[in-house]
Structure 1
Amino acid sequence: MAVIIAFSAIAAPSAHAKKLPAFQAKEAYVMDAKTGQVLYQKNADAKRPIASLSKLMTLYLTKKAIDTHKIKWDQKVPVDEELIKMSKDPTLGGFRIKRSGEFTVKDLYKAALIASSNSAAIALGKLVGGGNNTQFIYMMNQQAQKWGIEATFVSSSGLDNTDLKKYHYQVPHTTSKAQNMVSASAISQVAAKVLAEFPTITKWSSQSTMKVGKQWLVNSNSLLKNKVYYRKANHVDGLKTGYTINAGLCLTVTFWHNGRHLIATIIDSNSVFTSMDRLIQQIDKKYQKVNVTVKAHQFKVGNQSLTATPQESQTAIWRQNANQKPQSVKYRLTQKTGQVTKGDPIGYAEVGLSNSRGVAKVPMIAATTIKPNRQSKPAKKTHHQSLLSSIGNMLIGIFTGIYKLMVNFAKFMAR
């Protein structure tokens, strides 16, 4: 709760405070949640501390574990004494845990998402990691590497090692001051993965408050309904706030514009809610949606033909002026060999604009399953065939030698 109060106090307007600029942030990024088209960026690829925005990766991997039946929403989560102690620390808390197994996966998921509970996030990560916190941090980094995003994780909560070591949660072989280092573009892409994996998460993330057990979770996202910076026209429905002294005020929001879900991230801003409000208004004002039809396409995987269908047959690309025209759709294959299972993404449809670097990508999904063709192996020769072949080769060699001797003798006699 103290963290939430601190976040709100720093971000809230003050009558005596010096007036801040309308938009102020060290890093910023705006993208289409489905196509990944970048609408705005500022220092977006620079890795830096992101505080509790890190929890988005923990929430993604937790939901993935649920969907693959490794854990369940309603199962009780074991919580060790160190995390129970952390939950009672007013500077790191936000959600009190009295005993192990007190709360379910769903309870702790909500606590990590809405109240930004550090102990809840770490407990979830540990559960997904098979009871091993270090293993879960490894999973976070592996997932980031698989997606090709700029991120280095040492914590499932966003706390740095100066706090984690007090509770014996510092990952081995990391420095005493190590912290999660992630770019604005990377954490925005993680948010997009969360939305794709769990579209209804916004039913929770859009709530200003929510009750779990006997505790009220308080959402520190002041752009939501019933909050200080709420604007109905912004259509904000999530997603995550973050704050540490090193990271500053951080915010990743999901919002709707012209029927599309967009994601915006601001990192290290002294006026994070004012700046995000300004950024959303500018996006609404400057960008118009153009609908584009994407069709099924025939790809060649190995030496086999495979039909792939678009994840969405009607997609959109954003433009800033009417002179920017959608270009013809290009189909790119990413899986060129190996087995393909029905439902796998094997490439993408790329939609571009004239006079613009903006590109929208729509995943292309395999319509059927194919297995790689096995190349026929040459038939093994029998011992009898091998013997005859050897004798034949020997006789040919003898006759060839005799023929050459006769030719040379004839040449000698002709002198």
Structure 2
Amino acid sequence: MIATLFMALAPLNNAYAKTNKKQYQFEAKEIYVMDVKSGQMIYQKNGNQKRPIASLSKLMTLYLTKQAIDRHKLNWNQKVAVSKPLIKMSKSYELGTFKIKHSKQYTVKQLYQAALIASSNSAAIALGQAVANGNNTQFIKQMNQQAKKWHIDANFVSSSGLDNTDLRKYHLQIPGSSNKAQNMVSAKAISTVAAKVLTEFPSITNWSKKSAMKVGDQVLVNSNRLLPGGAFYKKANHVDGLKTGFTDTAGLCLTISYWKNGRHLIATIIDSNTIFSSMVKLIKSIDRHYRMVKVPLTTHQFSVDKHVVTATPQVKATAIWLRRGSTQTKSTKQYTKTTEKLPVKQGEIVGNTLIKLSGGRTAAVPMLAANSIKANVNKKTVKQVKNQSWWQKIGNFILNIFVGLVALMARLIETVVKLF
């Protein structure tokens, strides 16, 4: 379905709009563009609508794998045992892009690169199983738990993006799911996942920006044609990855990481027949119809456990994206606390600054504790506890004497009864 880039991409100034009647037209059912650092939505079309997203799903798998590495549950050089069904899948003409050999073991890093660059389904599923100690079902549960933790609209049944029509052939269908079940995720949700990946693992772009990479005796080929050497590469767009995807039900999908005016942006297109040309036009439209202004940020004091915690913004100023032609330059700031109890370590996130614009647009900047504060022990409470314990001891002593006297009287009565 051909869609116009809507009036939302046009400026609010009617006089300006009349001189720019020609709008780019491209095919895409869902679109979402956001600023990585602030989380501000710049443009969206059906961005909150859940639908199949194919291999974009692998971004959640890659995030959880890196999380497991950071928590020392896995390491990059660790060998991963790949099951026979996944080896068989890797050799499938339709589902395999990275052939896994019976006689060879692969490291976490090799499988990670294969899932990211070549979009290997077998590699992604093998990574998920490694994270969850060999349990594919448990890993899918972790994917859904992470989505819930981030408050994003997503439901996963697959770590690779394949649906059950393919997974059941390899005995990888989640128990209780229907034969046609598939991942259902909104464009906003998967863009948020991409932002989390890039924030916590920024060097991932050292791999995702490569058009090809050799792993072992195989060459991983990146299907992203926006990268150097690709037919749709434009140097000015500064694209450095991130993930492509396709299934019959999802259509062509693409999430990219790119830079504009020093800001890191994410753009997602779901269900399109022309993702690369559409993405180039989308980037150009964002550039033409939106401008960036800087909003300075200051320190703020939060009350944590009845103590004042001074917090400094993670950055001195954040970017706000406005439509060109818009007269709005003012914004309101609201502070939200994320930490309720001491202790607090210096540099720890204790809250956020929310910069609010009209139309429900917001940007968020983490606030970091300026100093460490230890948890204080209430001496009065401790004294009361000690006093209570002494009274309890005295009470127990008196009670024991009383019980002893009662027992003695009982024996005397019993003796008297026997005498008579």
TM-score after normalising by structure 2: 0.82
Percent identity over the alignment?
A: 59
Equivalent position SS for 2:26? coil
Instruction: Tell me the residue number matched to 1:289.
Output: 292
2:339 aligned with 1:335: yes
Instruction: Tell me the residue number matched to 2:227.
Output: 224
Q: How far did residue 223 of structure 1 move?
A: 1.2
Distance in 2 of aligned mates of 1:293 and 1:265? 29
Q: How far did residue 371 of structure 1 move?
A: 5.5
Match 2:50 to one of 47, 52, 68: 47
2:108 aligned with 1:99: no
Distance in 2 of aligned mates of 1:123 and 1:286? 43
1:360-402 Cα shifts (integer Å, max 9, x gaps): 1111123444465556264416269889xxxxxxxxxxxxxxx
Instruction: Rate the CA distance shift 1:256–1:51 in 2: closer, same or farther, 3 A.
Output: same
Instruction: Rate the CA distance shift 1:343–1:139 in 2: closer, same or farther, 3 A.
Output: farther
2:60 aligned with 1:57: yes
2:129 aligned with 1:126: yes
Equivalent position SS for 2:192? helix
Larger mean Cα displacement after TM superposition, 178-187 or 328-337 = 328-337
Equivalent position SS for 2:64? helix
Instruction: Tell me the residue number matched to 1:113.
Output: 116
Match 1:345 to one of 349, 361, 381: 349
Instruction: Rate the CA distance shift 1:100–1:154 in 2: closer, same or farther, 3 A.
Output: farther
Match runs of 1:14-413 below 5 Å: 22-99=25-102, 102-321=105-324, 323-337=327-341, 339-353=343-357, 355-370=358-373, 376=381, 378=384, 379-380=387-388, 382=391
Give the letter aligned to residue 336 of structure 2.
Answer: R
Alpha carbons 1:79, 1:100 under 8 Å: kept: no
Distance in 1 of aligned mates of 2:392 and 2:80? 66
Instruction: Rate the CA distance shift 1:171–1:212 in 2: closer, same or farther, 3 A.
Output: same
1:284-333 Cα shifts (integer Å, max 9, x gaps): 11222212222232111131211222222232111123622142543221
Larger mean Cα displacement after TM superposition, 171-180 or 240-249 = 171-180
Q: How far did residue 37 of structure 1 move?
A: 0.5
Q: How far did residue 200 of structure 1 move?
A: 1.1
Equivalent position SS for 1:110? helix
Distance in 1 of aligned mates of 2:46 and 2:151? 18
Give the number of aligned pairs. Answer: 366
Instruction: Rate the CA distance shift 1:108–1:331 in 2: closer, same or farther, 3 A.
Output: same
Distance in 2 of aligned mates of 1:63 and 1:165? 27
Give the letter aligned to residue 325 of structure 1.
Answer: T
Alpha carbons 1:51, 1:159 under 8 Å: kept: yes
Alpha carbons 1:250, 1:272 under 8 Å: kept: yes
TM-score after normalising by structure 1: 0.83
Distance in 2 of aligned mates of 1:214 and 1:163? 28
Give the letter aligned to residue 350 of structure 2.
Answer: I
Instruction: Rate the CA distance shift 1:342–1:169 in 2: closer, same or farther, 3 A.
Output: farther
Give the letter aligned to residue 317 of structure 2.
Answer: Q
Distance in 1 of aligned mates of 2:103 and 2:178? 30
Distance in 2 of aligned mates of 1:310 and 1:216? 44
1:133-185 Cα shifts (integer Å, max 9, x gaps): 11111111110000000011111100111111111111111111111110000
Distance in 1 of aligned mates of 2:95 and 2:107? 21
Distance in 2 of aligned mates of 1:79 and 1:261? 36
Alpha carbons 1:94, 1:115 under 8 Å: kept: yes
1:13-65 Cα shifts (integer Å, max 9, x gaps): xxxxxxxx732211110000110101101111111110000000000111111
Alpha carbons 1:107, 1:212 under 8 Å: kept: yes
Give the letter aligned to residue 194 of structure 1.
Answer: V
Q: How far did residue 132 of structure 1 move?
A: 1.2
Larger mean Cα displacement after TM superposition, 373-382 or 205-214 = 373-382
Larger mean Cα displacement after TM superposition, 325-334 or 255-264 = 325-334
For structure 1, the 5+ residue unaligned runs are 1-20, 388-415
Give the letter aligned to residue 356 of structure 2.
Answer: G
Equivalent position SS for 1:169? coil
Distance in 1 of aligned mates of 2:42 and 2:155? 25
Equivalent position SS for 1:360? strand
